[in-house]
Structure 1
């Protein structure tokens, strides 16, 4: 269930401005990314975000001394040793989570770097293949042009085949006789 900044401020006994100042500073601003959303012009904070804000006010310095006194009194009333142990356990859990996420992020970055290197090699290979294809296409055009020129030269230089003379048909006996 999401809450507004005003609702959280009322619960922990600080002003809305104090909360806004705190959530704009690091490391809280980074931790709250994705845990706050604006709905109908009101900033809504998720349950996890609410816990982080409350933790920031209970474990760190407040923006005013009145806020600091309110937090300290709340700690005493709630039983500071139990709350402190819970906070320590929660911080340890968050630290472990942070370490796990950091390792995962590093592994993903390494995977991305490896993929980028592989992609770079593939692009280089593609460029080389394209260059080879262009050279072969140029050579094919030159060969075709040379063949066409050779054919034209052969057509011009080669004498036309002389007409073969048909042998005279054998004379028949009467043409021999009459000499025709």
Structure 2
């Protein structure tokens, strides 16, 4: 049974303008299909009424569908959350194993650095000992050999020859 826009608005609890605005916004409804006009009054047939009621009840059904979708999304999120937790646990275990490997490498590097330091100290001590040995005068009466010394002629006496100077004293 056809109803007027006012009757339909009263039934839905909205204003006539709200119904007209919904119809104008929704391009899927062709108002001419569902309406008939007698004078200045517009009557909406049963199919038109259903379409208009669907537009207004769409908000409540949309809420219901949205709530249902939210529940479904929560279930999906729970499954996705479990997958994410597994992924994060695997990632944490990988990071921990990498951390252990880095600690091993750091310890190894520190041990090698300590060995290098000890070897360097040993080499310094050896060089110091060698310098002391080469610089110390000989007590057994032998003459030191220097790079500036010329071979002595056999016929000359040691008193007539000047003594050669030691080369390391020139730099002092």
Q: TM-score, normalised by structure 2?
A: 0.45
Give the structure with higher Rg (CA). Answer: 2
Q: Judging by fraction of residues, say which structure has more helix.
A: 1
Flag the structure with more relative contact order, 1 or 2, with Cα contacts below 8 A and sequence separation at least 6: 1
Q: TM-score, normalised by structure 1?
A: 0.43
